[in-house]
Amino acid sequence: MKPVLRDVTLRDGLQLTGKLLPTEFKIRLARRLLRLGVPELEIGSMARPDLVPPMANTLDVVAGLTPEELEKCWIWVATPRHVEKAIAAGARNFQYCFSASDAHNQANIGRTTEQSLAVMPDAIALAKEAGGRIQLCIATAFTCPFEGPVAPARVLEIANDGRAAGADDVVICDTLGQAYPGQVAELVSRVATETPKRRIVFHGHDTWGQGVANSLAAAAAGAAVVDGALGGLGGCPFAPGASGNTSSEDLLFATRPDWLDPTAFADLVGLSEEVLREVDEPNRSKAAQGARSKANAFEWVISETREPSGSEVQ
């Protein structure tokens, strides 16, 4: 089965850019992605705005979307209080995230992994009371920038912890982009067979050029969803050595979901280019670069007669 793309441009994609995009721009981007056919989005984070300034207007973005749109959108949270505040704004889907390694969790969230896990039942209860969904998101599932390699047993221990039993999904994160396909396939397969049955999401980065390969390996091993960001934007501000996410364009070109055709892909590339211009970032997507090549006989190339129409964030 083909994996579903969750586009994380509006959270993980933007958090290292240093620029707070206007609320209306973010809302239009979310709506444009949903109209194109992208099935799920990550639209923001409850991280402290003084630490991650590009996320400062997340609650305004949530408030500006309809309940139907928010059914397809996820918010990054790290505490029960985050969940409470997001619910009040209208959010219903939450990615409760903490790290497999204590050192990164301290740098990222300001508490130990055990402390994050200890209050997860409260976050789960709040999400369920609101009629929402919540994910167990395990960052640094392969390597930590401070502690080095993370043992698979540590990830399985967290995934099997009873305090996370109410999570709808489990997200396995290659936070630094240092994993390789065989390693990803092995861990995802073990999560699928040795932990409670729930949807598996793979969140990869392309630091070492393995983003697409790792995502495809994860899907073959049991992951139903893979994360990507337009143009390969992104990275963790508290993980030295991390670079951009796996490109959404590259993942879509590789997986070819039913809604994607050359016209939709051209619109996606045009939309990505608009966002990248807005944040003054280079386009790291190989598929987008290919779409702008001169090989016009290939139907996926954007020729002068196949320019994106209405791709701007408007």
- Active site residues per annotation: 236
* 41, containing H or E segment: strand 40-45
How far is Cα 131 from Cα 93, in angstroms, rounded to an integer? 9
Tokens coding 187:
């861990």
User: Which stretches of the chain are DSSP H helices?
Assistant: 23-36, 58-64, 67-70, 80-89, 102-108, 113-118, 120-129, 152-159, 181-194, 211-221, 248-255, 262-279, 286-291
Angle between helices 248-255 and 262-279 (to 10 degrees): 170
Q: CA 293, 298, 302: angle at the middle one, nearest 5?
A: 50
* 74, containing H or E segment: strand 73-77
How far is Cα 95 from Cα 142, in angstroms, rounded to an integer? 19
DSSP state of 109: T
Tokens coding 75:
């918010």
Tokens coding 164:
């996370």
Q: With contact defined as beta carbons under 8 Å apart, do 159 and 200 qualify?
A: no
